[in-house]
Amino acid sequence: MSATLPITGSMLVNSYRSYRTRSSSKVTVRLLTTVLLCLFLSSCRASDDTMGLDVVGYNHTNQDIGWFAVANGGGGYLGKHEQGGFACCASIPRKYMPGMTVTVRWGGVDRETQERVVEVPPYTSADGGHFSVHFLRNGDIKVFVTMYYPRHPDYPLKGDEAKM
């Protein structure tokens, strides 16, 4: 046998207030999510004279790299002999300027923070797909603006240096 309880006016008002609070919380969460998504998606947007490129790292060394950063964009963890560390974004001039350099910082995972200024080889705006950072076995660092990945025949790093 079930019992029916009477519903009072105050119960309806409290239920409505609870519904409005949950609804406004959902609206706030949705609005905040939308704003953050818009900021994230526009973070690689650049002005007419610059390109916003995703940053990707390649670790050719025998040591893990906990993190790295280049220009105004960073990358995540790079295991030894691994590709990864995709991040957004490096903003660079759309038109190559001779002698152009970027500062690469890295550290973590049993390493102190290190920093090196690296020259950027010539590129065109048509090359702009991503900004590749290679930590090489001999201690050098090479960077490229390229739309290709290492296995493509037109990728700028070749030969023994390109081996992971």
- What's the CATH code of the domain at 66? 2.60.40
Confidence at residue 6, expressed as pLDDT on a 0 to 100 scale: 53
The reply to whether 141 and 71 lie within a common domain is: yes
Domain that holds residue 25: 8-42
Cα–Cα distance for residue pair 14/151, rounded to 1 Å: 64
What is the value of pTM for the model shown?
Answer: 0.70
Contact 90, 73 (CB under 8 A): yes
* Residue 1 placed within a domain: no
- Write the CA distances from 138 to 42, 87, 135, integer angstroms: 37, 25, 9
The reply to whether 55 and 16 lie within a common domain is: no
Buried b (16+ CB within 10 A) or exposed e, 101-127: ebebebeeeeeeeeeeebebeebeeeb
Confidence at residue 39, expressed as pLDDT on a 0 to 100 scale: 39
Give the pLDDT of the chain (164 residues) as one tens digit per residue: 545 445 555 554 455 455 455 555 554 445 444 434 333 444 444 457 888 898 999 999 999 999 999 876 777 889 999 988 777 788 899 999 999 999 999 998 676 899 999 999 999 999 988 999 999 999 999 999 999 999 899 999 998 888 88
Cα–Cα distance for residue pair 65/125, rounded to 1 Å: 30
Q: Which tokens hold the place of 65? A: 């790299």
The reply to whether 66 and 138 lie within a common domain is: yes
The reply to whether 25 and 90 lie within a common domain is: no
Domain count, the chain: 2
The reply to whether 85 and 60 lie within a common domain is: yes
The reply to whether 141 and 63 lie within a common domain is: yes
* Residue 89 placed within a domain: yes
Confidence at residue 26, expressed as pLDDT on a 0 to 100 scale: 54
The reply to whether 55 and 93 lie within a common domain is: yes
* Residue 3 placed within a domain: no
The reply to whether 112 and 59 lie within a common domain is: yes
The reply to whether 86 and 158 lie within a common domain is: yes
* Residue 2 placed within a domain: no
The reply to whether 32 and 110 lie within a common domain is: no
Query: pLDDT tens-digit profile of 5-16?
Result: 455 555 544 554
